[in-house]
Amino acid sequence: MDHLAELKEFARLHGRGQGLTEQHVQAVLSRITGDRPGDPHSWAQVWTAEGDALMRGGHPLDACRHYALARFPHHGDEDRLLAQRRCVEAFDTWRLGARGGIERLEFDHPDGTVAAWAAGLSADRPRPLLLIMGGIVSVKEQWAPLLPLFARLGFAAVATEMPGVGENTLPYRADSWRLLPHLLDELAGRARVAETAMLALSFSGHLALGAAAEDPRIRSIHTVGAPVSDFFTDPAWWPEVPGITVETLRRLTRTGDDDELRGVLADFPLTPPRLGSLDIPVGYVASSRDEIIPQTEHRLLALLLPQARFKVFDDVHGSPEHVGAMRRWLVLSLLRARLGGRRASRTG
C-alpha cells in the first residue's frame, strides 16, 4: 500500500474514533489527490480547509477534530505544523465556551516542554489522579473532551501527549517512561498522585507499564494495543508494520533510517523480570487483527501480570469498529481498579 492509500485507510479508522461519519470522511478523502506541502489538494490542506470552515461556522470542537486529521500522523511539514497549532487553538476556543471546567497546563522538563488539559484538579480537595495519554499519532485534544466526565466520576483528570507528539517537545527514547513520574511530581499539589491511574493508549501503555515498575504511585493501568517486547525486537514482525507507523517512530525518536530506528528500539522491550514486578490491576484491550502490535504482547502480559484483565475485539489496531464497547470496558476497568484500591486501603 502506498503512502497516500495508507493515510486514507488510517483516516477512516481515526475519523470513526473521533465521531466523524464514514460518509463525511469519504467525501473529504475523495478531494485529496496527494501529500505534497503547499498543494491545495494535499492531505493537510484539504483537512485544514474543512476545519477552517467549521471554525467560521462556530463549531470549534468539530474543527479541532479535522485539524487533528490534517496534522496526522505527525506535524513534520509546514502545512501540518499549521494544522497542529489550529487544533490546539480550536480546542481552546471550545473549552472556554463549554463551561466544563477544563484548564490548560504547561510543564517544563529538562528535555523540553509538555502541555496538558485538565479537569478536577484542586489543592483544597485533591482527588485521585487519572493521567490520560494517547499513542504516537494521537494528540491530547482527541481525548480532552472526556475530561469533565472523568471529573464527575471523582478523578483529577489530565490529558497529555507522548514525547514528540503534539505540543510535547521531548524526544521519544527507551527511558521516556521517566516523563510520567515527572508529571506526577508536578501535579502533586493538586491531585492525590499516590493513587494514580493511567489511561494510556497504544504506545503510551508501554510507557505506563515501564513507569509503574519503578514508581509505586501508579496504582492501575488501562490500555489498548500497547507494545511490550516483540514489537520492538521481532525481525519477522517488523516487515508487517505499516509504513506510517515506521515513519512516525523515526520522527519521534529522531532517527534517520530503518536500521538506526531498529537499533534504538532494541532498548525498548520490557523484560519479564521488570514486568513480573508489577502487582497492580492492568486492563488491556487487544485486537485480533492488529496490524501494528503482535498478539504475543498481550499473551506475555497474561503470563506475567497476576491482576491483568483482557478484552479482545475482532478488529484492527485500536478497535475502531468497537469504539463504544471499548470505551465502556476501559471505564469499567478503571472504576473496578479504584474500588479495589479503596478496599485494599481499608483492609491494609
Cell numbers linked to 87: 487544533
Question: What pLDDT score does 1 carry?
Answer: 66
Query: What is the mean predicted confidence (pLDDT) over 210-224?
Result: 97
pLDDT tops 70 at residue 344? no
Could you read off the pLDDT of 142-169 as tens digits, one per residue?
A: 999 999 999 999 999 999 999 999 999 9
Identify the CA nearest to 71 among candidates 81, 56, 58.
Answer: 81
pLDDT tops 60 at residue 118? yes
Under 8 Å CB-to-CB from 192, ≥6 apart: which residues?
Answer: 126, 127, 128, 129, 156
| Burial readout 194-221 (b: 16 or more C-beta within 10 A, e: otherwise) | ebbbbbbbbbbbbbbbbbbbebebbbbb
CB 118 within 8 A of CB 155: no
Q: Quickly state the pLDDT bin for 348 (edges 50, 70, 90).
A: very low
At the top level of CATH, which class does the domain 103-347 belong to? Answer: alpha beta
Helical axes 22-29 vs 43-56, angle rounded to 10°: 120
Query: What is the mean predicted confidence (pLDDT) over 229-251?
Result: 94
Taking the C-alpha atoms of residue 90 and residue 1, their distance in angstroms, rounded to an integer, is 33
Compute how many other C-beta atoms are within 10 angstroms of the C-beta atom of residue 131.
27
In order of 2, 62, 82, 196, 328, the CA distances from 199 in angstroms are 33, 23, 28, 10, 13
Strand partners, 117: 104, 159
Domain spans in the chain, listed from the N-terminal domain onward: 3-91, 103-347
Taking the C-alpha atoms of residue 228 and residue 233, their distance in angstroms, rounded to an integer, is 10
Could you read off the pLDDT of 258-300 as tens digits, one per residue?
A: 999 999 999 999 999 999 999 999 999 999 999 999 999 999 9
Block residue for cell numbers 496526522: 72
Could you read off the pLDDT of 8-56 as tens digits, one per residue?
A: 888 877 787 788 888 999 999 999 999 999 999 999 999 999 999 999 9
Question: What pLDDT score does 343 carry?
Answer: 39
pLDDT tops 60 at residue 139? yes
Taking the C-alpha atoms of residue 66 and residue 25, their distance in angstroms, rounded to an integer, is 10
Question: What pLDDT score does 339 carry?
Answer: 81
Identify the CA nearest to 224 among candidates 142, 333, 303.
Answer: 333
Cis peptide before 73 (omega within 30 of 0): yes
Cell numbers linked to 29: 478523502
Query: What is the mean predicted confidence (pLDDT) over 70-79?
Result: 94
Under 8 Å CB-to-CB from 295, ≥6 apart: which residues?
Answer: 286, 288
Report residue 142: phi and psi, to 5°.
-75, -25
Under 8 Å CB-to-CB from 126, ≥6 apart: which residues?
Answer: 156, 189, 190, 191, 192
